[in-house]
Structure 1
Amino acid sequence: MKARPVRMGAVLPQAEIKPSDPQAVRLFAEQVERLGFDHLIAYDHVLGADSRSRPDWSGHYDHEIPFLEPLTLFAYLGATSSLELVTGVLILPQRQTALVAKQAATVDTLLGGRLRLGVGIGWNEVEYDGLGVPFRSRAARLEEQIHLLRRLWTEPAVDHKGQFDVVDRAGINPLPVQRPIPIWIGCGDAPTALERVGRLADGWIPHPTLGAGHRLAAAWTAVRAAAERAGRDPAALGLQGQVRLTTGGLAGVTAKVERWVALGATHVALNTLEAGLRWPADHLALYTQIADAWRTEDP
């Protein structure tokens, strides 16, 4: 695949891995890497609501949609893949901060520094209830967690007494290879969320519903402005694009990638979810078709 001014990746089509064959998941990661892609994104959900008993359920997924826990998955894939592995996104406020710090540091160590931790607040109150975490405080909790994670990844011992977490003169060992592990925030374009990205994150993972047009461009401008107000360099922020794949022509895919590049994306992942494809053969065939066509374009 031709070298482009953006890092190209793939989204693991979690919801379509039926049955959940671990060999097929590993094959998918290995094949997209062989095709020239350099990062793999995995989504995260711990619990799915039973939609059969909830006639008014309107969530994006329910209890019948499979999700592999991403950090566990990455430890498995890292043994045979050299891809950068990305959570897109881990619903951080549902989890104990110190435990996430330990798990992420372990995975980053096993991967040799190839973990990128995308985090977000989520939307599924049922999931929060099942995990025993207050739903309404999730944004404030996320902010405290980001600060604490970075300390736990860079300091041998931490003394932290916050609103949500207490670490009494303790630390994790081993520390990760990356100190700290990059934290990217995934969200839509609510002003408070965009301000949080610019103020705290290493990069932004826009919600796919924002598209790649004027709405996204305005949100990215707001993120960069928030970074400047916080005394940070907006040019140092990463932007993760995403392009839905179908069996349509290559020209459409290339044009969508180039729109992300023009916007300033540092990474773009292709996504075969909901494209009517059989797992895993059809998904890999489409990635192969696109990679082959891009190689043909190379001078």
Structure 2
Amino acid sequence: MKLGLIYPQTELQGDPEAVGRIALAAEGMGFDYLLAYDHVLGASHDREPRLTGPYTEHQPFHDPLVMFAYAAAITQRIEFATGILILPQRQTALVARQAADVDLLSQGRLTLGVGTGWNYVEYDALGQDFATRGQRLEEQVTLLRRLWSEPLLSFEGRFDQVDRVALNPRPRRRIPILLGGFVDVALRRAARIGDGFIFADGAADAFAQTARLRELLDQAGRSGEPFELRCNMLRARTPGDIADTARRWADIGGSHVAVSTMGLGHASVEQHIDYAAEALAALKARR
């Protein structure tokens, strides 16, 4: 089972130096991958319809693909995962180009986790329709895979149309596309089209969701296919809790677990790194 670290960007005041420090520290400690959340814009919740998500205009976010391109240049081994990129608010062909370049420049270290998000204000600002985000995401996954694999293609979809186009250079491998979310519709979508699923244990019950997802994979005729089960361990609050959650995740066949250092009162990059090191030591001790 691979071990990841969630980049704690909402608690680092947008410090650009923290990106390199944490990426290098994570690789040096022995984490297998670095995961980053995504928001292009924050928004005040004082509006109608009222926003109910966990972030406002006060939490900073770096663009994960830009951040990973930088981190790839200063690291050698560690992998990168978006967890998740809010795909339907973005132009599909542009995401295809950006993700292909990160994967090429990192020599095959990118996993693209995607989802629909919750912030309709962000969709409005980016010129996309919040109401059709689920349908658009499914079409986008199909188009991304075709752009990454075909030398020339035309595509007539509900949301995207391209006429005899090429993405050049293309990635040298099939970039994994994982889905994420907290509700049953996200699990059903992953069972149909995903290479795996990123669970947020704490925002939902990842263990119960895994049982449900396996039912859906079986219904889709995919129970024997490779399928990644990744758990962001948000509920675990101590290194011991993290190790226990990871052991339980491995027992049910999980493929990846990621440590979160956020929400614990850490006030500096050093404190986040020190806590990550403690958590990793606990994980390795109980393997």
Task: Give the TM-score normalised by structure 1.
Answer: 0.89
Task: Report the equivalent of 1:286.
Answer: 275
1:186 to 162, 180, 186: 180
- Change in Cα spacing, 1:297 to 1:254, as seen in structure 2 (3 Å) is closer
Instruction: Measure, in 1, the Cα distance between the counterparts of 2:147 and 2:259.
Output: 33
Deviation, 1:189, is: 2.9
1:240 to 221, 225, 230: 230
- Change in Cα spacing, 1:246 to 1:268, as seen in structure 2 (3 Å) is closer
Instruction: Measure, in 2, the Cα distance between the counterparts of 1:88 and 1:281.
Output: 23
Instruction: Measure, in 1, the Cα distance between the counterparts of 2:203 and 2:61.
Output: 23
Contact 2:36 2:84 survives alignment (8 Å) = yes
Task: Report the equivalent of 1:60.
Answer: 54
Alignment partner of 1:201 is 2:201: no
Instruction: Measure, in 1, the Cα distance between the counterparts of 2:237 and 2:207.
Output: 27
2:209 to 210, 219, 226: 219
Contact 2:246 2:283 survives alignment (8 Å) = no
- Change in Cα spacing, 1:67 to 1:150, as seen in structure 2 (3 Å) is same
Deviation, 1:12, is: 0.1
Equivalent pairs counted in the alignment come to 286
Deviation, 1:278, is: 1.5
- Cα deviation per residue 1:154-181 (whole Å; 9 max; x = unaligned)? 0011110010000101010111122x21
CA RMSD of aligned residues (A): 2.1
The residue identity in structure 2 corresponding to 1:254 is: A
1:262 to 251, 266, 272: 251
- Change in Cα spacing, 1:124 to 1:166, as seen in structure 2 (3 Å) is same
Deviation, 1:83, is: 1.1
Instruction: Measure, in 2, the Cα distance between the counterparts of 1:8 and 1:133.
Output: 35
Contact 1:202 1:236 survives alignment (8 Å) = yes
Task: Report the equivalent of 2:120.
Answer: 125
Contact 2:85 2:115 survives alignment (8 Å) = yes
Instruction: Measure, in 1, the Cα distance between the counterparts of 2:283 and 2:231.
Output: 18
- Cα deviation per residue 1:233-269 (whole Å; 9 max; x = unaligned)? 4451101112248774x43221111111122210000
Q: Secondary structure at the match of 2:23?
A: helix
Alignment partner of 1:33 is 2:27: yes
Contact 1:88 1:118 survives alignment (8 Å) = yes
Q: Secondary structure at the match of 1:90?
A: strand
Contact 2:200 2:231 survives alignment (8 Å) = no
Instruction: Measure, in 1, the Cα distance between the counterparts of 2:282 and 2:256.
Output: 20
Deviation, 1:41, is: 0.4
Contact 1:245 1:271 survives alignment (8 Å) = no
Q: Secondary structure at the match of 1:272?
A: coil
The residue identity in structure 1 corresponding to 2:188 is: E
Percent identity of paired positions between Structure 1 and Structure 2: 42
